[in-house]
Amino acid sequence: MTKMTGGDIVVRALEDEGVPFTFGIPGTHNIELYDSLSRSTSVRPILVTDEQSASFMADGVSRSSGLLGCVNVVPGAGLTHALSGIAEAYLDGIPMLVLGCGVRTDSGKAFQLHDVDQQAMVRPVTKAQLRPEDGSDLYAAVRSACRTARAAPAGPVFVEIPVNHYLFKHEPGLDAWVYEAPVTSGPDPQALGQARDLLRASRRPLLYLGLGAAGAGADLVDLAERLEAPVATTIQGKGVFPESHPLWLWCGIGAMAPPSVRKVAGDRDLMLAIGCRFSEVGTGSYGFDPPGPLIHVDVDDSVLGRNYPAELGIAADAREFVAALLEELEPRSPDPGLRAAISKGHDQVSAAWTEGSGERVSPHNLLSGLQELYGPDAVYTTDSGNGTFLAMEHLRLDRASSFLAPVDYSCMGYSVPAALGAALACPDRPAVALAGDGAFLMTGLELLTAAQLGLPVTILVLRDRELAQIAQFQQTALARKTASRLADFDLEALCRGLGVQYLSLTADSEVSEALGRARSIHADGRPVVVEVEIDYSQATFFTRGVVRTSLGRLPWRDRLRFVGRALARRLPGRGG
C-alpha cells in the first residue's frame, strides 16, 4: 500500500469512525494534521478562541447527537487549557476523543517546546492513554481510542501523537486493524429472576433513572406502566423518561425535591435504580435514603452499592436489562390515587412559581416561554450553578439528549461552547444556552466563533451580577456574601463588537416579545444573545435541600454555632 503522511492517516481514521468535527487551535506541532484536515470532505476543523471551549464543544457534540466529539490540541498549554472539559466528560461519563500532540521522539533532544509529561496529566481524567510508538500504528491507535471512548462506561480517551509522526510518511496499516468487540452475555438470568421476585413482592415500587438508562428508550415507559411506579430521574437523566407522562415525578428526590415529591417517594417500598451512580450533586448531597430495598443496575459494576447499600446489584446494559425484565413482568392496574397525587403536586409547584416577586424576569415565565417558542426538539445547555438547577426544575422535556449540564465536575463556562457543539452536530434542533453572567465571562468569547460560522444559537445570559448559586449559599448559611459579586459589564457593547445580535429582557411582560424576536433571529440562521434580568429571589428546591441536608449532617454543637452566627449577623448593626 502507498505510504501516507501521519496527518492523512489520522484523518482517515477519524473519517472511518464518523467523527464529524475537531475543535481546537492549530500550533507548530500539528500544522501537518490541519493541512490534512483541510482536504477532508467529512471531518471539519473548528477554530475556537480557547481550548477549554474546545473540550466543552466536543462534549456538546457527544451529549446531543451520539456522534463522537473530538478535541484537537497542541502539547502543553493546549492540553492544560482543555483539561476542565476533559475532566467534565470523564466524571459525567461522556465519550470524547482527545487528540493530542507530543514533542519529537526522534531527536534525542531535551527541553523541547511544550515538553511536559502529558500522560501523567491526563491519567486521572481519561479512561485510557495511548501513544503510538511508530507512524504505522497511528490508524489503529486512533480507531481503538474512539471505540474505547464509546464503550460503556463511556469517557474520554487521550491519544498523544509525537510531532515526528506527522512530519513523515508511513505504511498506513489500514487493513491490518481489526476491532474485536467485547463479548457481552446480557444480564445474568439468576439476577434477573431475583429482580422480578423483589418487584413482584413490592406493592409500591419507585423507578429512579440516570443518563445510563437512556439506551432503554420507550421500554422505560412500558416498565413504569407495568409496575405502576412513579419515575424520578437524576439531573443528567432529565428527559430519559418523558416528563409529560402522568407517572413522571421529578428530577431528583429527597431533600432536593418539593414536599409533594418527597411524600410520594417516601411512601414507596422498593427502589429500582437504573443507569446511575448516586453522585453527590445528583442526590443533592446524598439528601435521601432509598425507600425500601434497592435494586441497583448499571453497566459499571464498580458503582453498584457504592454509596447506598443494594439488596441486589446487577451489572448490565440498561437496554438489555429492561428488555429482558419486561419479558416476564406482569402488568399492574393503574393507580388513580398515585397519579392524582403526582398531578396535584405538579400543580402546587406551578402555582407557587407563578406567584413570583413581581420584579425582574421570573424563571418560570422565562423557561415556559422558551419551551413554547423553541418547541419540543430544542437542546438546552446550562452552566454550573443556578442555571442548571432552575432548568432542571422548570423545563419539561420528553426526550433524552435535550438537557446538557455539567454535573459531577460542575464546570463554569460550559453552556455557551456546549450549545455551539450541539448546534453543529444537530442542525435540525434549536440550541439554547442558559448562561449565568459569571460563567459567561469565562467562555462567552465563543460568540465570535458562532458569528464566524454563522451558527444559529440562542444564548440567554442570566444577569444578577453575582455568582448566584454561591451567593445564595453564602447568604443562607453565613448571612454575608464574600467575593461573589461580579464587576458589571456592558453586554450589548460586547455583542456589538463580536458581531452578534443583542436583545434585552427586563420584565415578565416582555418575555413573549423578546423571546419571539430571538426565535426569529435564530430561525434566520444567526446567533443571538438575550440579556435577562433574572429574578433569583426564590431559591430552587435543590438549593434549599442541599443547605438543609448539609446543615443537618453537622454535629449538634456545630449546627447551633452555624445557625447562631447567621442569625446574629442578621440583627441590626451586626452585619459585619
Kindly report, residue by residue over 529-539, the tens digit of the pLDDT.
999 999 988 88
**Which three cell numbers mark 76?**
502543553
Distance in angstroms (rounded) separating the CA atoms of residues 8 and 485:
50
SS3 72: strand
- Cβ–Cβ under 8 Å, residues 392 and 256: no
Average pLDDT, the chain: 93
- Which CATH architecture best describes the domain 4-170? 3-Layer(aba) Sandwich (3.40)
Is pLDDT of 317 > 60?
yes
All structural domains of the chain with their residue ranges: 4-170, 189-341, 356-541
Single-letter residue type at 271: M
Distance in angstroms (rounded) separating the CA atoms of residues 203 and 192:
19
Lowest mean pLDDT among 174-178, 512-516, 517-521: 174-178
What band does 385 get if pLDDT is binned at 50, 70 and 90?
A: confident
- Cβ–Cβ under 8 Å, residues 432 and 405: no
Single-letter residue type at 184: T
**Which superfamily does CATH assign the domain made up of 189-341 to?**
TPP-binding domain (3.40.50.1220)
Distance in angstroms (rounded) separating the CA atoms of residues 394 and 535:
14
Q: Which of 69, 221, 71, 96 is nearest to 153 (CA)?
A: 96
Lowest mean pLDDT among 94-103, 376-385, 465-474: 465-474
Residue 502 burial (CB < 10 Å; 0-12/13-18/19+)? middle
What band does 275 get if pLDDT is binned at 50, 70 and 90?
A: very high
Distances (CA, A) of 206 to 139, 380, 535: 47, 27, 34
Its pTM surpasses 0.85? yes
Domain 356-541 class in CATH: alpha beta
User: Which pLDDT score is estimated for 103?
Assistant: 80
- Cβ–Cβ under 8 Å, residues 17 and 142: yes
Distance in angstroms (rounded) separating the CA atoms of residues 280 and 277:
9
Is pLDDT of 57 > 90?
yes
Own/partner long-range contacts of 123-129 (Cβ < 8 Å, ≥24 apart): 125/83, 125/86, 125/87, 125/90, 125/91, 125/156, 126/86, 126/90, 126/98, 126/155, 126/156, 126/157, 126/158, 127/90, 127/155, 127/156, 127/157, 128/157, 128/158, 129/157, 129/158, 129/160
**Which three cell numbers mark 444?**
462567552
